[in-house]
Structure 1
């Protein structure tokens, strides 16, 4: 028997074994209009999840790992994932959700390689696209109505004497860590685009936090819930090393950003908005948030 006749079956066997080690499934539940509903979630690969793949209407969604809101290591992938699964289940769509670094997810949505990006912050109509030259982000994406959200502002090392007094003038030229592709706040982003700060870009919030801990930046822009989670789940870090500076920039709602490359984007926007309003009135979003973390171990 030749080497090839041994080698090829071995490669095939190892490939199938790798697929089996990744492929998983779990069930998540939510309550809506006094009914408890269960959804089956399949995970064919490390970063992809599929729900109701048999339905004729399918949507592709892209997101990021951003605990405690959404993350592949959270129970049911976090409450934002559960809300999204429930939302499109009620709308009768099957969905795939893929996790990527945020800048890549933004690129995919703006180019029409994905139908929906989430969770997004509000996007100003004048916010320039980093993906398509001479274009504004709102030319490429349509926003849903808002749902829940979190604070955003500056975080520093505990021993750093910050001159920040609530004005951007007080931190002009400061070294500030920002995550590539993030929409922060309209006012901050405007100053950022003008080169008002010495901005250092990070791949994600975890890397941004490392920049701050290593004193490579003076501040980072972040949601304090995200930073608290990352510090609490890193045995090497002391949660007391980092603190949030008051006043916060603002409270940022979350949105679904629908790609305008999808021919049905306007219809999708109307349907999503109507269902979010229904969820809000029924208390479904609040219940999903309250039940976050109460799930059975995945299979």
Structure 2
């Protein structure tokens, strides 16, 4: 009887050991999964760079860079203002992209909002204009007194933004590049600041703009060719994420 009870106890202890091992394995698997999905980034819908479902070459580049360090990322698409605010204020997010460099946002320069990564792409920006009424300019100061469409929350070129801030360039803000181009067709503005690839995509795929594509053109002179950066949250988590991203570049 005693031997039988001892055998039962030993079997029970073996069962507990196996069960505990399984629990530890499951916990470990969950921890790995959480690590791989821990990095949450925000962005905007900005085709052809980034589409509404978070696909697109710019988003894919960010995923690829992190994957080289064995990290997965969850990319959430929001209106730009919300994307920036979430990345800056909500500890659940590691950063926001794609951003042009700005010392006013750079926590390691004159700002406090975020930590900029090294560049991972470029964005040629210039002026969309009417084919029948092109904008003639040599330096940005020549654009003074013109009504030029911009997108709310977007950074453009430094001198351009300064002239807008001081009122020398009359910026007409909208919430999207599409609306800027529609305003241009309606004669509400003389030109619109836009990324070249975005301009080409919109007039090729958005029906009303496609129908009027012959009336629009991209000015032959660029405003700038800024780099794309990830703007990581100004926090220990953000610093670790930036370190991993830059090691993967």
TM range (shorter): 0.7 to 0.9
Q: Does 1:238 align with 2:208?
A: no
1:141, distance to aligned residue in structure 2 (A): 0.9
The structure 1 segments of at least 4 consecutive aligned residues displaced by more than 4 Å after TM superposition are: none
Query: Residues 1-299 of structure 1 correspond to what in structure 2 (within 5 A)?
Result: 54-56=33-35, 58-72=38-52, 77-112=55-90, 114-123=93-102, 125-126=103-104, 138-162=111-135, 164-236=136-208, 237-260=211-234, 262-276=235-249
Query: Normalized against structure 1, the TM-score is what?
Result: 0.65
Per-residue Cα deviation, 1:41-95 (whole angstroms, up to 9, x for no partner) = xxxxxxxxxxx9923250121111111111136xx82111211222222223332
| Cα pair distance change 1:137/1:62, threshold 3 Å | farther
1:101–1:204 Cα contact (<8 Å) kept: no
Q: Which residue of 2 aligns with 1:12?
A: none
Unaligned runs of 5+ in 2: 1-30
| Number of corresponding residues | 214
| Cα pair distance change 1:80/1:247, threshold 3 Å | same
Deviates more, 1:86-95 or 1:250-259: 86-95
1:275, distance to aligned residue in structure 2 (A): 0.9
Query: Normalized against structure 2, the TM-score is what?
Result: 0.77
2:106–2:113 Cα contact (<8 Å) kept: no
Unaligned runs of 5+ in 1: 1-51, 130-135, 277-299
Per residue, is there more helix in 1 or in 2? 2
- Alpha-carbon RMSD across the aligned residues, in angstroms, is 2.5
